[in-house]
Each structure stands twice: as structure tokens, then as C-alpha cells.
């Protein structure tokens, strides 16, 4: 996923819910889609998500 503030996705992408947490092309968020792609080849225990602490609730969701 490219960096940036997701301005092209505004008003859906906001500071409290940036683009990686949005469901744009399916019912899953971009983060969930990425996780599911990795899960096909990697054990869940070996997948790490690095983000700011303020996004922890969205990541757990």
C-alpha cells in the first residue's frame, strides 16, 4: 500500500479511519484483504501489523 494521507479517498478516509481500514472493493478492509492474501502462505502467528497505537482498536476489529 502506498504511503500518503489518502486525500483521494476523502471524506471516507479520515485521520481516525485511514484508507487501509476502509472496505473499498469488497466487504473487507484493505488491511483485511492483505492479511487474507498472506494467510494463504504464512502462518497467522508470523504476520505482524505495524501501526500507531491509536489504530489498535481498528486493527483488532
CB of 20 closer than 8 Å to CB of 1? yes
What is the pTM (predicted TM-score) of this model? Answer: 0.78
pLDDT band at residue 2 using 50, 70 and 90 as cut-offs: low
Q: Give tens-digit pLDDT for 4-48.
A: 666 777 788 888 888 888 898 899 999 999 999 999 999 999 999
Q: What SS3 class is residue 21?
A: helix
Q: Where are the domains of the chain?
A: 19-60
Which residues make beta-bridge pairs with 14?
A: 17
Amino acid at each position: 500500500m502506498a504511503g500518503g494521507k489518502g486525500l483521494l479517498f476523502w471524506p471516507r478516509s479520515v485521520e481516525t479511519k485511514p484508507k487501509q481500514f476502509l472496505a473499498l472493493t469488497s466487504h473487507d478492509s484493505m488491511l483485511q484483504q492483505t492479511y487474507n492474501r498472506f494467510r494463504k502462505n504464512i502462518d497467522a502467528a508470523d504476520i505482524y501489523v505495524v501501526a500507531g497505537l491509536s489504530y489498535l482498536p481498528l486493527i483488532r476489529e
